[in-house]
Chains A and B, each alone.
Chain A
Amino acid sequence: GQQLNQSPQSMFIQEGEDVSMNCTSSSIFNTWLWYKQDPGEGPVLLIALYKAGELTSNGRLTAQFGITRKDSFLNISASIPSDVGIYFCAGQKSYNTDKLIFGTGTRLQVFP
């Protein structure tokens, strides 16, 4: 099945640093979502993007819907230990006909 290419695969950073990750696709999506998964739990929605070029923030998190509609970016500013987890992008072409396809995930580790 199709998967979105997400990079980097993993990141090891110090507390206080900023983080950037991105997601790319060979096809166009009309919805981009970013989820975070903590160990032993399900993915939790962080940010939803519905329009090309849209830039949306949620606290220290900022995500952008790429102009080409084939990519999206997530930035985390001033990382803290509880940011540790796996971040997934997800794309969907149409809400009523197409499945939500997930990226390969970015594993984030934050050291104090």
Chain B
Amino acid sequence: DTAVSQTPKYLVTQMGNDKSIKCEQNLGHDTMYWYKQDSKKFLKIMFSYNNKELIINETVPNRFSPKSPDKAHLNLHINSLELGDSAVYFCASSRRQERSPLHFGNGTRLTVT
């Protein structure tokens, strides 16, 4: 199936731990994103990479570090997890051209205890 897939779907961890979320797309897109959805369902962009190059970096704590080994993968590493990091994190991809909407993965629900 052609899709944006991210793992794990659920992640429960304790404060202070370091964790990673992986994302892969097989749509042939050149741009990938990480969005955060809070408990009120607000969707907010965190990062965007185009061909492995960081192009959008919102005001996200530097405990969050995205890594793009190639244009089909964008991983998110989070250091020293805090309670406020609990949210659903969505990966998305698109082509960096007109009329190329974002396609989203099914999300990773992160719970920090």
Contacts and interface: CB of A to CB of B under 8 A. Distances in A.
Decide if the interface of chain B is mainly helix, strand, loop or mixed: loop
Interface in A92-112: 95-96, 99-102, 104-105, 107
A100 to B, nearest CB: 6
Interface in B63-113: 90, 92, 96-107
Contacts of B43: 43, 88, 102
Interface string A48-70: 10100000000000000000000
A78 interface: no
Nearest to B97: A95
B106 A99 contact: no
A42 B43 CA distance: 11
A14 interface: no
Given A1-B58, A86-B41, A102-B42, A41 B97 contact: no
How big is the A interface, by class? 20 to 34
B25 interface: no
How big is the B interface, by class? 20 to 34
Most buried by A among B43, B56, B107: B43
Contacts of B100: 95
Contacts of A104: 41-42
A42 B41 contact: no
Contacts of A37: 41
Nearest to A37: B41
A44 to B, nearest CB: 7
A100 B41 contact: no
Contacts of B42: 3, 102, 104-105
Contacts of B106: 40-42
Interface of B: 4, 41-45, 48, 56, 58-59, 90, 92, 96-107
11 contacts: A33-B101, A35-B104, A41-B106, A41-B107, A42-B90, A42-B106, A45-B101, A45-B103, A86-B41, A96-B97, A101-B45
